[in-house]
Amino acid sequence: MEVAVTGAEERPVRLGALGTSSIAWRRVLPTVVRTPELRLTAVAGRSEARSRRFAERFGCAAETDAAALLDRPDIDAVYISTPTGLHRRFAEQALRAGKHVLVEKPVGVDAAEARALCALAAERGLVLRENFMFPHHPQHAHVRDLMDTGRLGRPASFRAAFCVPPLSKDDIRYDARLGGGALLDVGVYPLRAASLLLGPGLEVAGATLRVRAEDGLDLSGQVLLVSPSGVLAELSFGFEHAYASSYTVWGDRARVTVTRAFTPPPAHQPLVVLEEQDREERLLLPAADQLQLLLEAFARQVRAGGAGAAESGVRAEAVAAMELVDAVRATARCVAVE
Ligand SMILES: NC(=O)c1ccc[n+]([C@@H]2O[C@H](COP(=O)([O-])OP(=O)(O)OC[C@H]3O[C@@H](n4cnc5c(N)ncnc54)[C@H](OP(=O)(O)O)[C@@H]3O)[C@@H](O)[C@H]2O)c1
Tell me: the pLDDT tens digits for 182-199?
A: 999 999 999 999 999 999
Reduced to 3 states, what is the DSSP secondary structure of residue 65?
coil
Distance between alpha carbon 30 and the CA centroid of its chain, in Å?
A: 18
The DSSP bridge partners found for residue 203 are 226
* 105 given a catalytic annotation: yes
pTM value surpassing 0.85: yes
What pLDDT does 226 receive? Answer: 98
Question: Percentage of residues in the chain with pLDDT exceeding 90?
Answer: 94
Render pLDDT for 156-181 as a digit per residue (tens, 0 to 9). 999 999 999 999 999 999 999 999 99
User: Would you call the peptide bond into 190 cis, given omega within 30 degrees of 0 as the criterion?
Assistant: no
Maximum distance among all alpha carbons in the chain? 70
Q: What is the pLDDT of residues 66-75, one digit of tens each?
A: 999 999 999 9
CATH superfamily of 135-289+322-337: Dihydrodipicolinate Reductase; domain 2 (3.30.360.10)
Q: Which of 181, 328, 159, 163 is nearest to 235 (CA)?
A: 159
- The reply to whether CATH 3.40.50.720 applies to domain 7-133+294-304 is yes
Residues 42-54 have pLDDT tens digits of: 999 999 999 999 9
The answer to whether 132 and 207 are in contact (CB under 8 A) is no
Query: CATH 3.30.360.10 in the chain, residues?
Result: 135-289+322-337
C-beta 86 within 6 A of ligand 1: yes
Residue to mutate (ligand 1; options 18, 50, 86, 172; most atoms within 8 A of CB): 172
Using left for φ > 0, alpha for ψ between -120 and 50, and beta otherwise, residue 67 falls in alpha
Whole-angstrom Cα distance, residue 167 to residue 7?
46
CATH 3.40.50.720 positions along the chain are: 7-133+294-304
pLDDT in tens, 241-292: 999 999 999 999 999 999 999 999 999 999 999 999 999 999 999 999 999 9
Assess whether pLDDT exceeds 90 at residue 6: no
What's the gap in Å between 275 CA and the centre of ligand 1? 39
Cα angle 83, 87, 92 (rounded to 5 degrees) comes to 155
Per annotation, catalytic residue among 99, 105, 159, 329:
105
Query: For residue 322, what pLDDT is reported?
Result: 98
- 309 pLDDT band, cuts 50/70/90, is confident
Does ligand 1 come within 6 angstroms of the Cβ of 238?
Answer: no
Give yes or no for a contact between 205 and 224, defined as CB atoms under 8 angstroms apart: yes
**C-alpha of residue 308 to centroid of ligand 1, in Å:** 31
Distance CA 261, CA 140 (A): 8
Among 163, 230, 221, 224, smallest CA distance to 199 is for 230
* pLDDT tens string 60-95: 999 989 999 999 999 999 999 999 999 999 999 999
Q: Is the CB of residue 133 below 6 angstroms from any atom belonging to ligand 1?
A: yes
What is the rounded average pLDDT of the residues 119-130? 96
To test the ligand 1 pocket, which listed residue (18, 20, 22, 23) has its Cβ within 8 A of the most ligand atoms?
Answer: 23
* CB of 45 closer than 6 angstroms to any ligand 1 atom: yes
pLDDT of res. 1? 34
Report the atom number in ligand 1 closest to the C-alpha of 179.
45
